[in-house]
Structures are given as C-alpha cells and as structure tokens.
Amino acid sequence: MRESVLRIGIVGAGIWGENHGRIYSAMDGCQVTAVCDRNGARASELAAKLGASECFDDYTEMFAQGSIDAVAIVTPDFAHADIAVAAAQAGKHMLIEKPLATTRDDVARMVEAITSAGVRAMVDLHNRWSPPFNTAHQILESGRLGDPYSAYFRLNDTRWVATDMLPWAAKSSILWFLGSHSLDTLRWFFNDEVARVYCTSRKGILASQGVDATDVYLTTLEFARGGIAQMENAWITPNGHPNINDIKFNLIGTKGSIAVDATNHNLIQLYTEEATTVPDVLVQNSVFGRPAGFAFESIRSFADCLISGAEFKVSLEDAANGSLAILAIKESAALRQPVEVRYL
C-alpha cells in the first residue's frame, strides 16, 4: 500500500479538520500530503499550515490524483457518505468523523462500499479513549461490577455550540453531534445491541435564537439481553456553565456500580473577574506543544493502527449500528412511541 510514510489526505478543512491535520503532522511515520475543501481558499490555507503539497476543492479529484493512502473525512455530520463511498471506490482507507451517517440509506451504501472494496474504516467515536470512561470500562471488564444492569448518561453541550460554533447545527442535531458518542459508549459498556428505544424531546429555546434544532432528547434504551439505560442529550446548557460539555455517567452492575463526572472534576479551576471556568485537560489540550487529550488520542490511534496493522478500537459495525439506533430514537421522538431498532 505505501512505502515508509502513511500519506493522509484531509477532506474538510474546518475546525476539526485542522485538528486532524495537526495530529497526523506531529506523528512519526505519518504525513498530511493533501487537503481538500469545497472552499478552495480554506483548503490551501490549511495545506500551507500543514506543509501539504497538494490541495483540491473536489474530493473526487483528490482521490484520483492525490498522493494519499488514507483519508480523514471531516465534513459536516450529514456530508460523510458520498465522500466515504468515493474514497472506498478509490481504494483509500478512512477515518470518518462521527456520526458515520445520518440516514439509513447512507449507512447501507457506506457499509456496502467499504466492505466490497476491502478498505479499512474507523469512525471517530472517541469517548472510548476518555480516561475516566476507559478506566470505568476496564473495571467493568475486570468483573468487579458484575454484569451491567442499568445506566444513565448525560452528554450535553452549551447553547453556544449550536448558535455560534456550528454553522450547520440546524441541519444536524445534538443526537448526531453528541448522542452518537452516548450511544457508542453505552453499546460498549453493555457489549450488546440496542433493541428498542423510547424518546421524548422538546424544541423552542434554540428556535427562539434562530437555530431550527431540537433542544433536548431524553431517551430510554432497552438492550437485547435486558440491560436498560437512559441517555440525555441537550444543546441548551447555559453558556455560563464552566465547561462546554456536561458529562455525567453512572452504571449499576449486578455486583457494584461506577460513576463518572467528567465535567465538574476538581483537577483545575480558573477564577477571573468575569467567570469561573474549568480549563480543558481531558479532551483537547497540549503538553509541551504536543496535542494531548482523548479527542486527539482516537485520531492518533487510527493512524497507529493503519501503520501497525492492528485492529481499530471502533469497528464499522459499531458505528453503523449506533447510527441506526439513533435513527430509531429520532423516529420515536417524532412518533412519541417506542420504536424497535432495524439493523441492516
């Protein structure tokens, strides 16, 4: 496939695409050789920052002409499928930003294209790399909690993410943007598929601020082997909250339980005349200039696994089934009735 260096192309030179670029560029054995954005100026700006020699405004051209072995797909939530299918057809391995896709048809055609091309694909469901969650999972695996019985997971964002950070928030939803992590984390802990969901939701706060998106989804999940869980995903945490994400997790097992508060931890607090905040030391920070934090570990892990040939920590099936469960949640919220998840 490659000689000595893994050559990566990035599609989507926005906020998160730049982070992908920084991480690959800082790794041994890996190089960003091409950047694509349909906004050509953005592509060339990021290519210059990363020292990538090739730059495109059309991903089909990048896949046909670019000197790349693998691609990072970092376009908005609803714009992953066409690019992934084209990458697979061009024989490129890929890291797709979460969620895999936002329609059933997109999930099916991506799985088909990736599987039949025999390329490798990972989806960036990075909460598995979060130190408190990863440690909790190791404790569960050790048997000290017994079997997972029930769980609760809140994963919320401040309003600013929907109103200011994402220009396309109204075309996605908090369920895709963060609920994809919640669902993946719960599937991972229960080691099981979600069979049935019941969701209620409310809309109004974001709409009143000009963003036509649902404010909050409260979901009950029933797993195939009997586990039950509740998932809270809201885009309406007040902006004065000390942390962009509000993260609370609690799992009860047959022998013990475990609780994670990844938001109001006491690791570090910053007090100024204006506000109290909790500087990020877990998700995306840097240590002596090197990107650190679990949101960066997952991206590094993708490149490491491609270089070493090791299995990805998140499989294509994990991501596909997570997206299909979220589609059932959205359907349940619309119908106000429980819905069975339909897998491929």
Footprint of ligand NAD (CB under 6 A): 11-17, 36-39, 42, 59, 74-77, 79, 97-98, 124, 126, 166-167, 177, 295
Q: How far is the CB of 263 from ligand NAD (least distance, A)?
A: 15
Q: How far is the CB of 24 from ligand NAD (least distance, A)?
A: 14
Would you give the DSSP letter of residue 310?
P
Closer Cβ to ligand NAD, 262 or 339, answer by number = 262
Closer Cβ to ligand NAD, 253 or 293, answer by number = 293
- Assess contact for 218 and 208: CB atoms under 8 A: no
CA distances in angstroms from 24 to 152, 243, 304, listed in the order given: 34, 27, 10
Closer Cβ to ligand NAD, 141 or 164, answer by number = 164
Q: Which residues make Cβ contacts (< 8 Å) with residue 122, sequence separation at least 6?
A: 94, 95, 96, 302, 305, 312, 313, 314, 315, 316
Q: How far is the CB of 4 from ligand NAD (least distance, A)?
A: 28
Q: How far is the CB of 128 from ligand NAD (least distance, A)?
A: 12
Minimal CB distance residue for ligand NAD: 14
Closer Cβ to ligand NAD, 36 or 199, answer by number = 36
Q: Within a 13 Å sphere around the CA of 108, how many CA atoms are in the beta-carbon half?
A: 7
Q: Which residues make Cβ contacts (< 8 Å) with residue 79, sequence separation at least 6?
A: none
Closest CA to 302 of 179, 126, 87, 83: 126
- Assess contact for 233 and 125: CB atoms under 8 A: no
Closer Cβ to ligand NAD, 189 or 294, answer by number = 294
Q: How far is the CB of 181 from ligand NAD (least distance, A)?
A: 8
Rounded CA gap, 17 and 26, in Å?
Answer: 14
Q: How far is the CB of 317 from ligand NAD (least distance, A)?
A: 19
Q: Mutual orientation of helices 15-25 and 40-50 as an angle, nearest 10°?
A: 20
Q: How far is the CB of 291 from ligand NAD (least distance, A)?
A: 12
Q: How far is the CB of 5 from ligand NAD (least distance, A)?
A: 24
Closer Cβ to ligand NAD, 31 or 75, answer by number = 75
Closer Cβ to ligand NAD, 150 or 284, answer by number = 284
Rounded CA gap, 104 and 254, in Å?
Answer: 35
Rounded CA gap, 82 and 103, in Å?
Answer: 12
Residue located via tokens 């404010």: 215
Closer Cβ to ligand NAD, 177 or 312, answer by number = 177
CA distances in angstroms from 215 to 207, 244, 289, listed in the order given: 8, 15, 36
